[in-house]
Structures are given as C-alpha cells and as structure tokens.
A and B are shown apart, each in its own frame.
Chain A
Amino acid sequence: MKNEEDDFYVGYLDNTSTKTKKTTRLFVVFSLLGLIAIASIFALTQNTFKNSTFELTTSTKITGVYHEMPYPMLKVKTAENTYKNILLLGFGKSSANPFLEKIRSKTPKLSGSILSIEGNLIYYNGKTLLQITNDEKISLVEKTNPNRLPKVEQVANNMEFKGEVIDPKCYFGVMKPGKGKIHRSCAALCIAGGIPPVLATNDENNISEYYLITDKKGNPIHKDILPYIGKPSLINGKVVRVEDWYQLQIDVNSIQDLNQPSKIY
C-alpha cells in the first residue's frame, strides 16, 4: 500500500492534501473541456433544419371556399384568379373533422360554402396549412354553391414514386425534423388521429413535390398506411390534380418498403 504523506480525503473534514486537491482540479478541468467538446460535436453534427414555420402564438383569420378532397380544405383567393388550397387540421394530433362537427350540424351541405376560420398557420415550400383549435372560431359566411368547388384534373393513371409518407402537420412546420426515423412515431399518431397522409418526393435536383394520399376511390386513408410511415418506399397510383395540390390514389397493399434509412430531411 502506498502511503502518500497522509493523503487521505474525508469529505466532511477540511484537511484535503494538496496532491488530492490537484488531482481533483485536474479532473474537473478535463471534464469541463470534455463537456465543451461533446456539446460542440453534438451541436455541429445536426442536420440542417428547414425554414418551415408554425405560428403557434399568432392566430390568423382566413376566409375561403370549404371543400374536401377528401380531406378538409379551404380554397383561398390570393390574387386575381389565383387560389391557394389550405389544408385544415385540428389541435394536436387530430384532424379538422371534430372541430367542423358543429358547423356541419348547422349547415347540411358544407362543401362549396364560404367559411371564415381563425387558427394558426403552418407553411413551408409553397404549401400552407391551418390548425383549428376552437370550433367557435369557424363561421359561415355564405351558403353552399357547387360552382365554387375547385376543378379536378386527371394527371396520370398509373405513376410510380419513390418517397416517404409523412404527416403534413409536423412536416410543414410544427416539428423539426418532421420526418424520418426520429419523427416516425409522432407521424403515425398524427395520421392515426385523422391528419391526412402525404407522400413527399425528392428528385435529383432536390425539388420536392407533395401528394395527398387517398384510397383507390379517393376516400381518406389513415390506419391502413401506418406501417409505411417515415420510411423510404415505392408507391404507385393514380394522380389527380386539384389546383395547387396533387392527390395520389393508391392501393395501400402495393406500397413497397425500400428498407433504407430515411434520407430526405
């Protein structure tokens, strides 16, 4: 046993030897330097975040034509003869439908009517969404008129895409990153809660396009697509355009999991 000049530390006594003090100080300095290095490496190796926005604390009132394709949307005029279709969502991981129940019960034919809705905007890459948190903040401006509904165009009968199924609420702004493995469980909950599944694709030039996914008849899909969320997949189906949004009508069972880690961020 080495017996250094009486080098014995007792925490509740103030008799620490200089050598022990020195060793301790050295350890503390090394640990602090280590912490700085670890913080820097973790901070600097994060992927770049997108400039998507979620206006959590500001509410905006928008007025437009309500329609379903098949997910609730509001067609808003942005300039003369230009329209934008804003995807409506509920609070948290919920679709807009529970918040629309009240107005639906008062207005039998809601599609085609003009609604004014106050909520929080979410936007990125040309797409805009609106989170509704209170069904009192939806009001009817004008009764239904089918002529106001957006036109639906056929684009392709069968097209194949490589991409990732995302939940648009998080992807377009609420979360960063709102896709990929880290976000997968959250996306699954969002889509199970009624938020429309969206296919995000990315071409060689890094141009992204987005497709609202429905079943072959154009009806909403939620639960059936859960196993395919947040992973690179091959998807094919019929493509339809509704003004500034595409719709992809698919048979869920034909989705092919590419078994790759999620790449697009």
Chain B
Amino acid sequence: MGVNYQTVLWNRNKKIYDKWIILGMLIYLLCFIGITLITNPETSIETLIIRAFGTLAIALLHVILVIGPLVRLNSRFSPLLYNRRHLGVSMFLAALIHGGFSIFQFHSLGNVNPIYALFTSNMDYGSLTNFPFQVLGFFALIILFIMASTSHDFWLKNLSPKLWKRLHMMVYLAYTLVILHVFLGALQQQPSLWSISMLSLGFIIIAGLHIRTSLIESKTDKTKTEDIVDGWEYVCDIDEIPEDRAKIFIVNNERIAVFKYDNKLSAISNVCKHQGGPLGEGKVIDGCVTCPWHGYQYLPHNGQSPPPFTEKIATYNLKTENNKIYVHPEAMAEGTEVNPVII
C-alpha cells in the first residue's frame, strides 16, 4: 500500500515467483536454441536471437493472459496474480530484445533512420500478402513498453487507478497486434499447420476463459433486489455470509461488499483502490478487510486503510430485521465512519 515507494517491495513469495519466471524463460530459450542448433544448424546467431525471443514473448503473453480469468474462476490461482506484473515486465524485455534486434538487423545501417525505414521500406499497406507486418509488432511493442514502464505502484497512484487500468487493458490490443504480426509475417514465409494450430488454440483458450468469466460476472451484476422498504434494499440473510467473509451486491449500479466479522456487519465499496480488485472476495484478517489481489487492507467500519496508509473507500449504512440484511444504497463519502450492525 502506498505511503512511499521503493523500487520493489520484496518478500519471499515475490522472490519465489521471480525465480520461476527466470527458470521458465531459461528453459524456453534452451529448448528453442538447442532444437534449432541440432535440427537446423546453418542458422545465424541474429536470427536465432530474434526468433527465440520473439516466440518467447508471445508464449509468455499467453501465460499472462490466462492468469486473470483463472483467478476470477477459482481463487486458488491467486498466487499467480500476486506478482504478475513481473511476468509482464519480463515478457516486455523478451519482446524488446526481439524487436530491437529486428530493427537493428532489418532496418538499420541504411541511408534513412531505422524507425522511418520500418514504416516506409515496404509500402504495401493495402495488401494482405505483402503487408509490412513489422509495423504491427512495433505498435505492440510500444504498448508493452507503456505498460511495463508504468507497472510500478508509483504510476498507478499518479495516473489514477482508472486511467492506469485503462492503459493496462491495452494488453488485449497488443495481443491482437502480435497475432496479426505473426500471421502476416513469419507464418506467411514459413506456414506450418503446427504453428498455426498452436496459435489458434492459444486464442481459443484465452477467449474462452474470458468469455466464461464475463458470463459469470454479468450474472451477479444482474441480480437486483425487488424488496425495497423505505429506501432500504434487502440483500441477503445474515447466515448466508460466512464468517470473516463477504457477499457482493449491486446497489445503485455500484458493487458493494457486505462483510460479517466478530458478530458485526459492515458494508463497503467492492472496489479496491489499488487496481480495482474485488474486496468482497477478500477476507477480514486482523480486523482488516484484505484484498484478494495484492493484500491492500481497509477497516470495515470506515473504509480507511489502517495507518500509516491512506487509501479510503466508500462505506454504506446497514440495518437488520429478522435475520435479513438491508443496505441503504446511498454511498457515504470515502472513509466515513459507519457503526457496524451488531448481530
């Protein structure tokens, strides 16, 4: 949580995560380079680097893109989300080596600036067979660069979580560009049923997982209460909420989380101030609502992060009647103290 920023707040789990990232990348590179040297030894070192890192980047991009929906579908995948930004930065570095070497190899040492050359040395923008596929890779790399360079919490805070989130949604645009980059480039020159099927399968897996999660989430978003008494909306019965946990509801078109802990009930906004994680899927630990994504904490009765942290979220008024919980749909200002309902 943000009071001041260090380069990376290290802890044991992040270190383990990073070790596996490095190991995975090394295994990939050894495999690609080893197999190429054995089966196709006349390769050149530049081509080997360009291809090893380009394909590594697209492989990592797939891993990154399946983590999000998997965690939404089953919280046991949560550890994978915790340090996903390092996976993102590693993928960017692989893509940068690929793009950098390609620009040096194919577009430099000519009589014009390499970036200008990238856009102008093949002008068949109107043709599919001849399309300058490098341009697509270039834009993807720019997006990945923007994401990697703003991945730190410093930027998250300074750009505002909303803008940051929007920026990071561009990963889907980058993915689309990369797929087109490969289909209009390398795959045209060396088409193979294997690689085409593999990339198609990757697309089906990613799209399938995303569609599933969004179907499930839009279902919860649609459940609206009919039972409104004097402006108070019935949400659920007390015993439907497990101890130290919450249930998520939509009131006034906002997602809220109603927590049960220590024989008390409190309602807060469901949206974490960090990256918009679903607080209602979090847990009360040491008296604090803890976000399932990266562990930001909030006090349930006032929506404030415990000192020295300064995050604040909206709170809501609750009341109970015969084991039934009612919410007043109007959000209180962020950080407003609301007395918990004693049960």
Contacts and interface: CB of A to CB of B under 8 A. Distances in A.
**Do A and B originate from a single complex?**
yes
Interface in B267-284: 281-283
B110 A190 contact: yes
Q: Which 6 A-B pairs have the closest CB atoms?
A: A92-B109, A189-B110, A39-B31, A45-B192, A43-B35, A23-B76
Interface in A51-66: 51-52, 54
Contacts of A43: 31-32, 35-36, 39-40
Interface in B174-207: 185-186, 188-190, 192, 194-195, 198
A35 B20 CA distance: 12
B218 interface: no
In the complex, which of the residues B59, B70, B290 has the most CB atoms of chain A within 10 Å of its own CB atom?
B59
B185 A11 contact: no
A7 B76 contact: yes
Contacts of B80: 24, 27
Interface stretch (A110-118, A179-187, A248-256): A179-187
A207 B15 CA distance: 56
21 contacts: A4-B76, A7-B76, A8-B282, A11-B13, A12-B295, A23-B77, A31-B24, A31-B63, A32-B23, A35-B24, A39-B31, A45-B195, A46-B43, A46-B51, A49-B40, A94-B110, A175-B46, A181-B130, A184-B130, A185-B117, A261-B188
A46 B40 contact: yes
A252 to B, nearest CB: 16
Interface in B18-75: 20, 23-24, 27-29, 31-32, 35-36, 39-40, 42-44, 46-47, 51, 55-56, 59, 62-63, 70, 74-75
Contacts of B24: 31-32, 35
Given A38-B55, A175-B105, A11 B130 contact: no
Contacts of A9: 75-76, 78-79, 82, 292
Interface residues of B, number: 79
Given A35-B27, A175-B47, A185 B122 contact: yes
B163 interface: no
Contacts, number: 204
Contact of B110 (A1, A7, A92, A184): A92
Contacts of B55: 38-39, 42
Nearest to A28: B20
Interface residues of A, number: 68
Contacts of B285: 8, 10
B242 interface: yes
Contacts of B245: 1, 3
Interface of B: prevailing SS: helix
Given A24-B80, A92-B109, A189-B110, A36 B27 contact: yes
A50 B76 contact: no
Interface string A1-45: 101100111111110100111111001100110111111111111
A262 interface: yes
Contacts of A8: 75, 282-283, 285, 290, 292
A20 B81 CA distance: 12
A44 B110 contact: no
A188 interface: yes
A153 B90 CA distance: 59
Nearest to A182: B189
Interface string B102-125: 000111111110000110011110
Contacts of B98: none
Given A10-B290, A11-B14, A94 B111 contact: yes
B15 to A, nearest CB: 11
Nearest to B124: A227
B328 interface: no
A181 B117 CA distance: 15
B189 A181 contact: yes
Nearest to A45: B192
A84 to B, nearest CB: 23
B315 interface: no
A48 interface: yes
Nearest to A3: B242
A260 B56 CA distance: 30
B35 A185 contact: no
In the complex, which of the residues A39, A175, A177, A193 has the most CB atoms of chain B within 10 Å of its own CB atom?
A39
B294 A11 contact: yes
Contacts of A35: 24, 27-28, 31, 59, 63
